[in-house]
């Protein structure tokens, strides 16, 4: 049995003819130049589709659509502590354009409104899908949860690993912890102690 491997150029399968004309993304030119600068041949087999893939992933990452984040329900009480833990997000360090991941925990005291469970992860991904530092990521999530839940009592904690520190530079696997405490989580040690 024999297989025909279709030729793929810029992510487009060639079936017995030339690829349809399309306007290249300007990011493709940057990727080609990057490949040349690091001593690669952008026209060699394995790399021919790479500039288009590179452009696609940057567009995909930065055009991230969090969907609807404003769905709220009537609260069942006035002081329930709600926590959503271990939301893993990937972001990009704005200093080196290298990835960092964070596990984010979000807590709030529901005061009249309940935020839909999935919305915490949507908010976290929304703030991760841009060039960031971890402190601003944590703060942006806290601000968004205050706005969406209408509660001033919000705690956001994040633990992250930054590839700019683990795969280059100092090359240490240290984790970074950040936290933003608002309302009762800042003023009341007993409320802080309730956080898991």
Residues touching ligand GTP: how many (CB under 6 A)?
Answer: 10
Judged by DSSP in three states, 95 sits in coil
Given the complex with Zn ion, which of 60 and 94 has the nearer CB atom? 94
Angle between helices 26-37 and 50-62 (to 10 degrees): 120
Element (H, E) at 156: strand 154-162
Handedness of CA 181, 136, 73, 116 (dihedral sign): negative
Cβ closest to ligand GTP, residue 59 vs residue 95: 95
Quick check: 169 binds ligand GTP (CB under 6 A)? yes
| Per-residue mark of binding to ligand GTP, 64-103 (x: CB under 6 A) | -----------------------------x-x--------
What lies within 8 Å, CB to CB, of 122 at 6+ separation is 66, 67, 68, 69
Q: Which stretch binds ligand GTP (CB under 6 A): 13-21, 28-36, 119-127, 128-136?
A: 128-136
Q: Which residues bind ligand GTP (CB under 6 A)?
A: 93, 95, 133-135, 162, 164-165, 169-170
């Amino acid at each position: 049995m024999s297989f025909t491997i279709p030729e793929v150029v810029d992510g487009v399968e060639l079936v017995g003819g030339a690829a349809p004309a399309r306007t290249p993304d300007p990011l493709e030119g940057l990727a080609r130049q990057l490949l040349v600068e690091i001593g690669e041949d952008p026209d060699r087999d394995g790399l021919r589709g790479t500039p288009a893939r590179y452009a696609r992933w940057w567009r995909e990452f930065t055009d991230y659509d969090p969907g609807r984040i404003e769905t709220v329900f009537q609260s069942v009480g006035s002081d329930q502590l709600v926590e959503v833990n271990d939301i893993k997000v990937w972001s990009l360090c704005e200093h080196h354009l290298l990835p960092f991941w964070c596990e984010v925990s979000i807590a709030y005291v529901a005061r009249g409104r309940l935020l839909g469970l999935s919305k915490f992860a949507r908010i976290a991904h929304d703030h991760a899908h841009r060039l960031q530092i971890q402190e601003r990521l944590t703060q942006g999530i806290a601000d968004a949860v205050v706005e969406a839940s209408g509660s001033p009592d919000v705690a956001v904690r994040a633990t992250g690993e930054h590839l700019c520190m683990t795969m280059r530079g100092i090359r240490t696997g240290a984790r970074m912890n950040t936290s933003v405490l608002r309302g009762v989580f800042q003023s009341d040690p007993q409320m802080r102690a309730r956080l898991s």
